[in-house]
C-alpha cells in the first residue's frame, strides 16, 4: 500500500479536526441547555415569550427592542407559555444557524476557513443557545456566498433580510461595492429600504427609537467601551430594562458616537480599497468590531457577529497577534456570561472582564488600520478549496 501524500494527510487531519469541533459545538450547546441555571430563563428567552404573548401590536402598543424581522420570528416561534419550550426552540435555531454558517464558509471560502470558524466560535456555545444572533450572521454570510457565486439577486435579498433582522450588517455593505457586485448592492439597499419604510408606516415612528435605545434605556451597558471604563472606576452598576448598566448617557453622546463610528468606518473601508485583501475578511472584521466598540450597548452575543470574518482574516493573514485577539474576544465574552450567571466572581470581576473585552475589540480595527504588509496567505489561496470558479473569488479580478 502506497504511503499517503503529505497534502492528503493534512486534508484528512483537517477533516477529523472539523468533525471533532462540530461534535464539540453540538455537545457544548446541549450540555449548556440541559445544565443552565434557572435564572438564565429570565433573560432574553423570557423576553421573547413576553413579546410573543402580549396583547396588542409590538412597537405601536408596547415598546419592543428587537428589529422587525427578529420580532416576526419571535411572534412565530415563541407564542407559548412555556419557558422551557422556548429555551429548546432558541437552542435549535441557534445551533442550526451556527452549523449553517460553517457549511457556507466551507463551501464558499474553503475548508480551512470553515475549520477556523469552528475553532474560534466554540467558546460562544456557552451562551449562544439562549440567543438568536446567529440568525443574521448566517443570513449575511449566505448573502456574500451567493453574490460571489453569481447569484447576486439572491445575495441582495439575503443581505436585506439580515439588515431587517439586526441593523448591524449595514456596515458590511461596502463588501459588495468592493467586489463590484452592484446588482446585489442595489437589491440589498432597495429591499431593506422598502422593508424599513413598511415597518415604520405600519407600527409608528417610535419603533426605530425603541430598537436603537433598547426600549429607551438611559444607562451605559456595562460591556460597552464607555460602560466598561466607568465600571472599573467603581461607578455603581444597576439592572435597567433587563441589562447591567452604569451611569447615564448624556444627550450629546449618541451624536458623538455616531460621528466617530462613521469616521472609523470610512477609514476602514478606504484602506480596504487600496489593499489586495478579501473584503469579507479583515476589513469586514474591523468594520463590525468598530461598530461594537462605539456602541452604547455591547452584549456578549455581539461577538458572534465577528466570527465568519475573523475566520477568513485568520486564514488569509495568519498573524499570531490577530489570532490571540480573536481568541481573547471569544473567551472573554464567555467569561462575562458566566459571571452574569453567578458562576464566577462579582461586580469587580465583571467590570474588569468587560474592560478586557473592550480592549480586545478596540485592538481589531487598530490592527487593521496599522497593517502595512501584504497578506501572508494570498486571497486566492484562502478559497482554493471553495466550490466556485476562481474568476469569481479573486477580489483583485473583481475590482
Averaged over successive runs of 10 residues, the pLDDT of the chain (399 residues) comes to: 46 85 95 79 85 92 94 92 87 96 96 95 94 97 96 97 97 96 97 96 90 88 95 90 90 95 96 88 97 94 97 89 95 90 75 94 95 59 43 32
Angle at CA 241, nearest 5°, toward 238 and 243? 55
Helix or strand or coil: residue 241? coil
- CA distance linking residue 144 with residue 153, whole number of Å: 11
- Non-local (6+) Cβ contacts of 156 within 8 A are 143, 147, 176, 183, 184, 185, 186, 187, 188, 190, 191
pLDDT at 378: 54
pLDDT digits (tens, 9 = 90+) for 197-245: 999 999 988 899 999 888 888 999 999 999 999 999 989 998 888 788 9
The phi, psi pair for 245, rounded to 5°, reads: -135, 160
DSSP bridge partners of 246: 220, 237
Residue 78, exposed/middle/buried by CB under 10 A (0-12, 13-18, 19+)?
A: buried
Q: Are 324 and 356 contacting, i.e. CB atoms less than 8 angstroms apart?
A: no
The phi, psi pair for 58, rounded to 5°, reads: -55, 145
pLDDT at 276: 83
Q: Are 214 and 297 contacting, i.e. CB atoms less than 8 angstroms apart?
A: yes
What one-character DSSP code corresponds to residue 377? Answer: S
- Non-local (6+) Cβ contacts of 179 within 8 A are 147, 148, 279, 395, 398, 399
Helix or strand or coil: residue 5? coil
pTM, to two decimals: 0.90
- CA distance linking residue 334 with residue 307, whole number of Å: 14
Pairing of strands 237-240, 220-221: unpaired
pLDDT digits (tens, 9 = 90+) for 20-79: 999 999 999 999 988 877 766 778 898 999 999 999 999 999 999 999 999 999 999 998
Q: Are 118 and 22 contacting, i.e. CB atoms less than 8 angstroms apart?
A: yes
Q: Give the sheet arrangement for strand 237-240, strand by strand.
A: 220-221, 243-246, 237-240
pLDDT at 76: 92
pLDDT at 398: 33
- Non-local (6+) Cβ contacts of 320 within 8 A are none
Amino acid at each position: 500500500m502506497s504511503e499517503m501524500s503529505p497534502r492528503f494527510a493534512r486534508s484528512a487531519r483537517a477533516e477529523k479536526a472539523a468533525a471533532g469541533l462540530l461534535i464539540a459545538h453540538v455537545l457544548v450547546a446541549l450540555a449548556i441547555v440541559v445544565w443552565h441555571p434557572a435564572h438564565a430563563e429570565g433573560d432574553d428567552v423570557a423576553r421573547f415569550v413576553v413579546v410573543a404573548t402580549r396583547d396588542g401590536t409590538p412597537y405601536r402598543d408596547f415598546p419592543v427592542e428587537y428589529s422587525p424581522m427578529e420580532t416576526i420570528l419571535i411572534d412565530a416561534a415563541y407564542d407559548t407559555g412555556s419557558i422551557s419550550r422556548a429555551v429548546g426552540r432558541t437552542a435549535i435555531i441557534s445551533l442550526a444557524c451556527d452549523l449553517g454558517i460553517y457549511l457556507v464558509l466551507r463551501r464558499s471560502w474553503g475548508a480551512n476557513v470553515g475549520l477556523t470558524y469552528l475553532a474560534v466560535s466554540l467558546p460562544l456555545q456557552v451562551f449562544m443557545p439562549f440567543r438568536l444572533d446567529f440568525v443574521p450572521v448566517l443570513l449575511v454570510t449566505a448573502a456574500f456566498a451567493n453574490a460571489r457565486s453569481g447569484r447576486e439577486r439572491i445575495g441582495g435579498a439575503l443581505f436585506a433580510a439580515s439588515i431587517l433582522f439586526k441593523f448591524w450588517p449595514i456596515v458590511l455593505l461596502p463588501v459588495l461595492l468592493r467586489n463590484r457586485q452592484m446588482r446585489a448592492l442595489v437589491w440589498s439597499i432597495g429591499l431593506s429600504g422598502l422593508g424599513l419604510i413598511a415597518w415604520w408606516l405600519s407600527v409608528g415612528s417610535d419603533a426605530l427609537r425603541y430598537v436603537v435605545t433598547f426600549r429607551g434605556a438611559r444607562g451605559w451597558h456595562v460591556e460597552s467601551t464607555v460602560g466598561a471604563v466607568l465600571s472599573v472606576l467603581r461607578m455603581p452598576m444597576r439592572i435597567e430594562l433587563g441589562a447591567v448598566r452604569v451611569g447615564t448617557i448624556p444627550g450629546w453622546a449618541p451624536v458623538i458616537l455616531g460621528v466617530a463610528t462613521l469616521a472609523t468606518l470610512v477609514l476602514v473601508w478606504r484602506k480596504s480599497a487600496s489593499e489586495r485583501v478579501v473584503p469579507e475578511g479583515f476589513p469586514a472584521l474591523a468594520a463590525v468590531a468598530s461598530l461594537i466598540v462605539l456602541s452604547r450597548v455591547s452584549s456578549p452575543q455581539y461577538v458572534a457577529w465577528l466570527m465568519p470574518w475573523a475566520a477568513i482574516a485568520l486564514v488569509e493573514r495568519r498573524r499570531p497577534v490577530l489570532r490571540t485577539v480573536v481568541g481573547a474576544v471569544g473567551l472573554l465574552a464567555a467569561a462575562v456570561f458566566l459571571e452574569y450567571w453567578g458562576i464566577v466572581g462579582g461586580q469587580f470581576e465583571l467590570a474588569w472582564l468587560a474592560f478586557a473585552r473592550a480592549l480586545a475589540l478596540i485592538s481589531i480595527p487598530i490592527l487593521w488600520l496599522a497593517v502595512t504588509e501584504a497578506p501572508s496567505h494570498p486571497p486566492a489561496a484562502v478559497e482554493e478549496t471553495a466550490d466556485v470558479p476562481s474568476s469569481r473569488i479573486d477580489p483583485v479580478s473583481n475590482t
